[in-house]
Amino acid sequence: MRDDARRTGPAVEAHYQLLNWLMPTIARFPREQRFLLGDRIQSTALDVLEALIEATYTRERRTHLARANLGLEKLRFFFRLAHEQRHLDPRRYEHAARAIDEVGRLVGGWAKASGPSRPIDAGQDRGESAQH
């Protein structure tokens, strides 16, 4: 596991890597779509990152994880639309879909581990022991 993932958790790191790939990919969109669909994709992806970071640093993480999960679902549709409009080639679309699915699995596992009534310390979410 990378040092960054140890500090922030695997879901945050996986989504960060998706964003790192996403920015130059959106720059390849046609000009009119770069400022319409591309901007919406980037904004939604950044909103997901914010929700994941907020979930990392709060005990009430279920709301933030649900918001992140909803954002991931929006991204699935936005990427599908970009692919069908031929702004993303099949290889890039497949990469995006796999990355979103990976982040979704990590968020789902995190939410499940947090439990409905018992929040877990951020360090425990990453497999570290809590120091109290």
Structural domain boundaries of the chain?
A: 3-118
pLDDT at 4: 54
What tens-digit pLDDT sequence spans the chain (132 residues)?
455 555 679 999 999 999 999 999 999 999 999 899 999 999 999 999 999 999 999 988 999 999 999 999 999 999 999 999 999 999 999 999 999 999 999 999 999 988 764 444 444 444 443 332
Amino acid at 107: V
Q: pTM for the complete prediction? A: 0.81
Give every CB contact of residue 32 below 8 A, 6+ residues apart in sequence.
none
pLDDT at 121: 46
What is the Cα gyration radius of the chain? 16
Write the class of the CATH domain 3-118. mainly alpha
How far is residue 117 from each of residues 17, 91, 125, measured CA to CA in Å? 31, 41, 15
